[in-house]
Amino acid sequence: MAGRPSAAFTDGAIETWQEAPGSVLQFRPALALPGQADRIRASVFATLPETVEALTRDGEVSEGPTIGWRFRDIDLVDGVLYRNGAELHLRNRRRRFGLAFRPRHAVSGALYETWTTNRWFGSWLMDALVAYPLAARTGMAMTTAPAPKPSSHAAQYESMLEISPTRISGDVHFDELILFGDLANNADKWRRQRELRDVLLTGRDPKPVPGVFLLRGLGGDMRYLKNEAELAERLAKERGFLVIDPLNASANELIEACGAARAIVGVEGSHLVHGINVAPPDAAIVPIQPPDRVAATLKQLSDRLGQRFGLLVAEGNDTVFTLDWDDLARTLDLFD
């Protein structure tokens, strides 16, 4: 899973197995105007060379297996798993001291979360929900995440996907703990991602649209596209796009809007996963990326779903930036 467990922690597993084998898969590079890659100054979630490789890989590439690990006698304290001095962080600590007292309550379970999926909603939406079936097969699926508010997107997705883990409250001792290494973008992860899309679209008849622009505004971590409103207005007027603020739409409304869209566009971030998760194969996925914060995670998601990805880098910094309309329009034209 994203947020790979450290070698020191997984070395303590009493059993290690392959949940799914590695794969040799066909990848398509991101489509981009000349000079877009030259705007990239920094990346997140991976090194700059790794990010560029994920964006530009072309042809057959080997992806590793999905791994399972079984442990005994693991303590979970303040969001951190402890094993004989080794640590694996699932959340930021809230308390100053870690393993001062061992928890008394004992459980056994399989976790499908990571620090990344607990930190960003988009990571939960694109990675935790795809890893959940691995934990569910054990009959012991658990999470440290509290039950989401009934009106939240998270609750709506859990209901649609019939996700019902046991929720851990507070510190516990695991008599037995199963973890998964689901970072590799292999064929089994592609299969699980496409099954998730199928479930989300079951019983629906979304109407084809040229594209959907998902607004970010000032929601979430600061990534402010100063001319977002102007770009959205022109896409709606000149290209027939729907413009939606995800904060003011239900998960059902987002799925209906994006399920047959020929393009998903917006500032790079969690909100775009609503659209990418259900957009059809060969849909154009075009995140607007800040030059100091370019990521390839959404490219990996679009690869799993057979979509095409556009590399579009704005001008500015990692928090405030602008994008020229011509760059956006010509990038979308690359998909025609």
Domain extent listing, the chain = 7-16+64-200, 26-62+207-333
This prediction has a pTM of: 0.94
Name the pLDDT band for 98 (thresholds 50, 70, 90): low
Which whole number is the average pLDDT over 72-90?
94
Name the pLDDT band for 4 (thresholds 50, 70, 90): low
Which whole number is the average pLDDT over 69-86?
94
Radius of gyration of the chain (CA): 20
Find, among 155, 145, 80, the residue nearest to 118 by Cα: 145
Name the pLDDT band for 93 (thresholds 50, 70, 90): confident
CA distance linking residue 201 with residue 252, whole number of Å? 10
CA distance linking residue 29 with residue 221, whole number of Å? 28
pLDDT in tens, 275-322: 999 999 999 999 999 999 999 999 999 999 999 999 999 999 999 999
Which whole number is the average pLDDT over 100-119?
91
Find, among 54, 68, 62, the residue nearest to 16 by Cα: 68
Q: Is the pLDDT of residue 97 over 70?
A: no
Name the pLDDT band for 99 (thresholds 50, 70, 90): low
Q: Is the pLDDT of residue 5 over 60?
A: no
Within a 10 A sphere around the Cβ of 200, how many other Cβ atoms?
A: 21
Q: If you average pLDDT over every residue of the chain, what do you get?
A: 95
The confidence score (pLDDT) of residue 102 equals 76
Which whole number is the average pLDDT over 73-97?
90
Residues 6+ apart with CB under 8 A from 138: 110, 178
Q: Is the pLDDT of residue 2 over 50?
A: no
Query: How many residues appear in the chain?
Result: 336
Which whole number is the average pLDDT over 77-91?
93
The confidence score (pLDDT) of residue 95 equals 79
Name the pLDDT band for 100 (thresholds 50, 70, 90): low
CA distance linking residue 127 with residue 149, whole number of Å? 20
pLDDT in tens, 120-155: 999 999 999 999 999 999 999 999 999 999 999 999
The confidence score (pLDDT) of residue 76 equals 96
Tokens standing for residue 42:
């920094």
Burial zone of 59 (CB within 10 Å; 0-12 exposed, 13-18 middle, 19+ buried): exposed
Give 16-83 as a 3 state SS string: EEEEECCEEEEECCCECCCCCHHHCCCECCCCHHHHHHHHHCCEEEEECCEEEEEEEEEEEECCEEEE
Structurally, what CATH architecture does the domain formed by 26-62+207-333 represent?
3-Layer(aba) Sandwich (3.40)
CA distance linking residue 253 with residue 246, whole number of Å? 9
Q: Is the pLDDT of residue 104 over 50?
A: yes
pLDDT in tens, 174-225: 999 999 999 999 999 999 999 999 999 999 999 999 999 999 988 888 999 9
pLDDT in tens, 21-67: 999 999 999 999 999 999 999 999 999 999 999 999 999 999 999 99
- Which spans in the chain are helix H? 7-10, 48-56, 115-119, 121-123, 129-136, 153-160, 187-201, 228-239, 251-258, 271-276, 297-304, 325-333
